Structure 1
Amino acid sequence: MTETLHIVGGGMAGCEAAWQAAEAGVPVVIHEMRPRVGTFAHRTGALAEMVCSNSFRSDDDEQNAVGLLHWEMRAAGGLLMAMAETHRLPAGGALAVDRDAFAEAVTARIRAHPRIEVVEEEVAELPREGRWIVATGPLTGSKLAAAIAAEAGQDALAFFDAIAPIVHADSIDMTRAWRQSRYDKGATEAERTAYINCPMDRDTYDAFIDALLAAETTEFHDGETAGYFDGCLPIEVMAERGRETLRHGPMKPVGLTNPHQPDVKAHAVVQLRRDNALGTLYNIVGFQTKMKYGSQKAVFAMIPGLEEARFARLGGIHRNTFINSPTLLDDEMRLRSRPNVRFAGQITGVEGYVESAAMGLLAGRLAAAEMRGEKLPPVPQTTATGALVTHITGGAEARTFQPMNVNFGLFPPVEARGGRRGRPARYKMYTDRAKADWTGWLGLRQAAE
């Protein structure tokens, strides 16, 4: 095969698309603008760098849709899931990774693949010739974003995305904080103590909310009116929705017992999750923020145990661009007006690292099949991957299209058997059906080869 697949972007989706296509025998070139052109959020020139969090969320493949997506990607030989497993950190029931080691490992595997070339350059236009996948993610370069908007005949949709701060572990006061996963979840002691917890009584919580609401924040100008993705709201925006919002969200105290005061129930708890294999860095869970740096230091110092915290990275906010995929893409993720170009990843309107990588996996397989003169059968909507791609390529209402995490609401309903069933049984039916259908689809794909 002499035709080459070109992929714009070396993030989660771009790397997974490249790996899948290359493993299918297709030569691939990844065009990655970093480190020549930096972004607000990235710190390195590594491929697949994680910027917002170090978590792939729940790894439960029987009761959780994103855990099911993990399972499907593993079954399909996904590079990112393999590297995540290799560099996994204790995180209770979640799949969290050492973000630097993970990115370095993905970069090494991609660069070592005999059919993948990485070119450090910025792509500023939508190509008219050749086979391409655009997987530039939420931080698409301004020139390419303008080219996409011009091709779409409309302004690109967008929302604001925020990242959480990271704290040096040795600056946390463990005479006030303690280690415990919620409900002691985890098979090992390391997993059951994967989080550091900082308790608040009612007065401290109320003062913290007052400070959040009064803090100086970063705002976008020049007429930008994008909203926020509900799954990644800044904490001060959550606080504006009601004083109790945070303690029923990322600061909920349930399932935790403070060993320093076992008879005192905390009113709210701030959790920190391990961010690297050494255990020297922890990120503050759910604390995405748009506060200015000075305000962050002052407000976070109000958290018991973080009074003297040193920050490896403070939080921040950036503009996140995505396209109206139900209008613009066909059922194989190709741009209707320019079918030599596919889109994959977060720019398509899926939200989250795993969802982005899954759409890269599918785009890479679809492109490789097309280049071999084959046509893959549609991915069953009963699978997590199929539910996502169906949603973005026509299942969602185009007029109200917004970024979406994978969830069981995107799946065709299951028929309860043996009388009325509760949620755990129903979710198990979803995942059992999905695994069977995904395995069947992979078998059909392999037979086609």
Structure 2
Amino acid sequence: MKRVIVIGAGLAGSEAAWRLAETGIPVVLFEMRPKKTTPAHTTDLFGELVCSNTLGGIDETTARGLLKSEMEILNSLILEAAKKTAVPAGGALAVNRNDFAAYITEKITGHPLIEVVREEVTEIPENEIVVVATGPLTSDAFSKYLTEYLGEKALSFYDAIAPIIYADTIDYTKCFWGSRYGKGGNDYLNCPMTEEEYERFYDALIKAEKVPLKEFEKEAYFEGCMPIEEMAKRGKETLLFGPLKPVGLTDPRTGKRPFAVVQLRKENREGTLLNMVGFQTKLTYPAQKKVFRLIPGLENVEFARYGSIHRNTFINSPRLLLPTLQLKKKPGVLFAGQITGVEGYPESAASGIIAGINASKLFNGKEPVVPPPTTMIGGLLKYITETDPDRFQPMNANFGLLPPVRAKGKRVRRKIQAEKALKDMKKWAGNAL
């Protein structure tokens, strides 16, 4: 091999290309813009941020703060660009969008080992080491190719995401474990509602503030990912025959069937995260917090991930990828960024770093590597490659991805997890880089 090919110059592709070039490996970086654009991008710059201009908190006891500290240990180009172009944002790292993207573009195009090709790629090159980082708005032609190349059910085009909450913030005295008609064991945590509680929840739900759909997302509304608030608008009883139906469930405290039931299921093997079944939504984050905390047992819950529905092309990573981000059926091909199912700017960039590291390992005939699961990056990779492929949805950084620790107080627990993560990342980076 004389080079590595990287497809896509977003956050992940830029990180992968930079990592490879910095280790002395020639890179051909393909970016279709400006010859072919997307419904969301407005420039031809690399690493353009199309939504928010913030990369999240900087405190290491926040998930994204910890993630960025790990990225700094790994010499992240994206983090370097963010710090160079930062604007005041309190406890968050926010950037001037144009300056941020221009900085990344200048660094990439100015590197002597990176050749930039402004063309759309419509298929994965044969007999090459390739990093696919085409992002959540992958072109129609390449999406069609990937559907055929990976398998018909391997590609999704919309996130219909329900909120995920931290299990240790639930009031279990108001809930019970069980499945409908006792089938399947105690797989679900059930939050029962009286008629009065349901009425209060329903009224708040239909009046809550919503995030408007962008023009290119408007086709997202179909029955398979109908927002819970849209279902509610069809009538007060609609939810009682849908995600909140109480049929087949008996509250052990009363011996009776509740008027309505909200069900949660384990999102990971450890049970530190629980998914609100059927609660995909377009409510704003503050509205989700206010409305969903009206559910008995969830009055004080904390959210690891809020619900959403938006356009996002992503592959079924648990079925297709190794933890190294290599394609199982063709290990010379790696995927990185939001197309793998990581959700968010720093998460996307972090996966690009790992793809770049492992592409360089393959180029040099060495074994690919994976960060320890005690790190935030390692926890993300573990989730997107080991979760149930039949229920896979994109995930952002959160402390529920890390091994739990025993300590009193959330901040104390997170401090312990963060210290462990950074210690392990430094040790791993010393051996891996």
Q: TM over 0.5: same fold?
A: yes
- From 70, 74, 77, give the equivalent of 1:76: 74
Structure 1 equivalent of residue 396 of structure 2: 405
CA distance in 1, matches of 2:223, 2:313: 12
Instruction: Tell me whether 1:434 sits opposite 2:421 in the alignment.
Output: yes
Instruction: Call closer, same or farther: CA 1:98–1:326 in 2, change over 3 Å.
Output: same
- Quote the residue 2:51 is aligned against: 52
Shift in CA distance, 11/40, structure 1 to aligned 2, threshold 3 Å? same
Counting only pairs closer than 5 Å after superposition, residues 208-247 of structure 1 correspond to structure 2 as 219-220=218-219, 225-226=224-225, 234-235=282-283, 244-245=290-291
1:134-213 paired onto structure 2 within 5 Å: 134-155=132-153, 156-160=155-159
- The equivalent of 2:126 in structure 1 is 128
Aligned partner (choices 299, 314, 336) of residue 344 of structure 1: 336
Amino acid at match of 2:409: G
Q: State the AA in 2 paired with 1:323.
A: I
The answer to whether the 8 A contact 2:5-2:129 is kept is: yes
| Counterpart-to-counterpart distance in 2, 1:143 and 1:122 | 9
Cα separation, partners in 2 of 1:226 and 1:110, compared to 1, 3 Å: farther
Matching residue of 1:305? none
**CA apart distance, 1:160:** 4.9
- Name the CA distance, whole Å, in 2 between partners of 1:399 and 1:368: 32
8 Å CA contact retained: 2:324, 2:368? no
Query: 2:361–2:367: 8 Å Cα contact kept in structure 1?
Result: yes
Kept after mapping to 1: 8 A contact 2:159/2:394 = no
How far apart are 1:222 and its partner, in Å? 10
In 2, Cα distance between equivalents of 1:236 and 1:76? 34
- Equivalenced residue count is 329
Q: Following the alignment from structure 2 to structure 1, what is the Cα–Cα distance between the partners of residues 286 and 52? A: 18
Contact 1:159/1:227 (<8 A) preserved: no
- AA aligned to 2:77 is L
* Partners of 1:127 and 1:341 within 8 A in 2: no
| Residue in 2 that maps onto 1:299 | none
In 2, Cα distance between equivalents of 1:74 and 1:160: 29
SS at the partner of 1:138? coil
The answer to whether the 8 A contact 1:70-1:81 is kept is yes
Moved more, 217-226 or 108-117: 217-226
The 3 A distance-change label for structure 1 pair 13 and 217 is closer
Rounded Cα–Cα distance in structure 2 between residues aligned with 1:96 and 1:237: 19
- 2:126 aligned counterpart, secondary structure: coil
Q: Among residues 101, 104, 107, which one is paired with 1:103 in the alignment?
A: 101
What secondary structure does 1:405 align onto?
coil
SS at match of 2:413: helix
CA root-mean-square deviation? 3.4
TM-score, normalisation: structure 1? 0.66
Which segments of 5 or more consecutive residues in structure 2 lack a partner in the other structure?
A: 162-202, 228-274, 295-306
Q: Distance in 1 between matches of 2:323 and 2:160?
A: 27
Structure 1 segments unaligned to the other structure (5+ residues): 163-205, 249-287, 290-316
Distance 1:102 1:154 in 2: 37
Judging changes above 3 Å, is the alpha-carbon distance between structure 1 residues 35 and 433 closer, same or farther for their aligned structure 2 residues? same
Residue 432 (structure 2) pairs with residue 445 (structure 1): yes
Q: CA deviation at 1:378?
A: 3.0
Taking structure 1 as reference, are residues 88 and 144 closer, same or farther at Cα in structure 2, changes over 3 Å only?
same
Q: Please give the alpha-carbon distance, in whole angstroms, between the structure 2 residues aligned to 1:103 and 1:223.
A: 35
Partner of 2:379: 387
Q: Which residue identity lines up with residue 9 of structure 2 in the other structure?
A: G
Deviates more, 1:151-160 or 1:333-342: 151-160
